[in-house]
């Protein structure tokens, strides 16, 4: 779908509302190559999963195996 959208001149955005790191992990993979990303949902939670996604000044990083349980 991304390739079809780009072929028609559309930009690509991957975003979220509030969700755990487990919910965002697939979106992190989809966001590679996107024009705009907004995957900060887990940062808005009072408590996330035991092994959350890692965020730093560079952004969000791919999940560690422990996230999946």
Give the pLDDT of residue 20: 96
Give the pLDDT of residue 25: 95
Which residue intervals of the chain are DSSP H helices? 2-7, 21-30
Q: Where are the domains of the chain?
A: 2-68
pLDDT digits over 14-41, tens only?
A: 999 899 999 999 999 889 889 999 999 9
Between CA 33 and CA 3 the distance in angstroms is 11
Strand 55-56 to strand 36-38: parallel, antiparallel, or no bridges (unpaired)?
unpaired
CA angle at 56 for the pair 55 and 57, rounded to the nearest 5°: 140
Give the pLDDT of residue 51: 95
pTM above 0.85, yes or no: no
Query: What SS3 class is residue 44?
Result: helix
Which pair of tokens denotes residue 24? 């965002």
Give the pLDDT of residue 26: 93
Q: What percent of the chain has pLDDT over 90?
A: 81
């Amino acid at each position: 779908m991304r390739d079809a959208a780009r072929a028609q001149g559309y930009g690509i955005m991957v975003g979220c509302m509030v969700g755990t790191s487990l919910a965002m992990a697939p979106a992190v993979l989809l966001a590679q190559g996107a024009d705009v990303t907004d995957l900060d949902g887990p940062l808005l939670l009072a408590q996330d999963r035991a092994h959350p996604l890692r965020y730093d000044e560079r952004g969000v990083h791919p999940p560690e195996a422990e996230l999946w349980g």
